[in-house]
Amino acid sequence: MTWHAEVRVMLKPSVNDPQGLSIRGGLHALGFDGVEAVRAGKLIQVRLEAASREAAERAVDEMCARLLANPVIEQYAFTLTEALVAPATR
Amino acid sequence: MTWHAEVRVMLKPSVNDPQGLSIRGGLHALGFDGVEAVRAGKLIQVRLEAASREAAERAVDEMCARLLANPVIEQYAFTLTEALVAPATR
């Protein structure tokens, strides 16, 4: 079975986010005065083969812990959906 | 009113994604052989003041078009939720 995982990786709330601060500065400079705070993170879409939802969840969770996120400063969450029709191009 | 916008910025499907390819290579090297494809994008959380949902939507859409995404190679989407209780620290 083919699965689509969508992984969200954000800096932990206690960690300084210079990219977010820089974006907020840019938005203020463009006149968006209503912007109060900005946090920047990563969105990673993974298509994978796995025999079951449980196997896919285990695999994605391990990918996050080992490569996609830095557990010291980042937190992650993901959603998993089954791809009902396999894409034509692999 | 305070709003939370969550902006997702991804490269258009037709655009080559070297960061995604690199992540896929890393996952394969770690033994995640089931991984078929990876796309990498940005997740940007914005807290803003706006008088109404319509005003907030307009503002965030304009932020995306002008700063957060590069419309030539990226596509974006966002969700907007009202912050019922204003955070203590601004």
Q: Which fold has domain B2-15+41-83?
A: Mth169; Chain: A , (3.30.1280)
- Domain locations in chain B? 2-15+41-83
Q: Least CA distance to A48: which residue of chain B?
A: B35
The verdict on B90 touching A (C-beta cutoff 8 Å) is yes
Task: For residue B17, name the pLDDT band (cuts at 50, 70, 90).
Answer: very high
In this structure, whether the domain defined by A2-83 belongs to CATH 3.30.365.10 is answered with no
Mean per-residue pLDDT of chain B: 94
Per-residue pLDDT, B84:
79
Do A49 and A17 contact (CB within 8 A), yes or no?
A: no
Mean pLDDT of A76-84: 94
The verdict on B5 touching A (C-beta cutoff 8 Å) is no
Share of chain A above pLDDT 70, in %: 93
Q: Looking at CA atoms only, how far is residue A18 from chain B in angstroms?
A: 13
Mean pLDDT of A70-89: 85
Do B46 and B60 contact (CB within 8 A), yes or no?
A: yes
pLDDT for A85 beyond 80: no
Distance CA B20, CA B73 (A): 15
**Which backbone phi and psi does B89 adopt, to 5 degrees?**
-105, 130
Q: Quick one: tokens of A50? A: 């796995």
Per-window interface: A 42-81 vs B, CB < 8 A: 42-50, 59, 62-63, 66-68
Distance CA B25, CA B32 (A): 10
pLDDT for B18 beyond 70: yes
- How many Cβ atoms sit within 10 Å of the Cβ of residue B6? 18
Residue A35, SS3?
A: strand
pLDDT for B88 beyond 80: no
Per-residue pLDDT, A84:
79
**Which backbone phi and psi does A15 adopt, to 5 degrees?**
-95, 135
Residues in chain B within 8 Å Cβ distance of A49? 34, 36
pLDDT for B75 beyond 90: yes
Question: How far is CA B26 from each of CA A36, B32, B71, rounded to the nearest angstrom?
Answer: 36, 9, 29
Share of chain B above pLDDT 70, in %: 93
pLDDT for A90 beyond 80: no
pLDDT tens figures, A43-64: 999 999 999 999 999 999 999 9
Q: Quick one: tokens of B15? A: 């655009």
Q: Least CA distance to A90: which residue of chain B?
A: B36
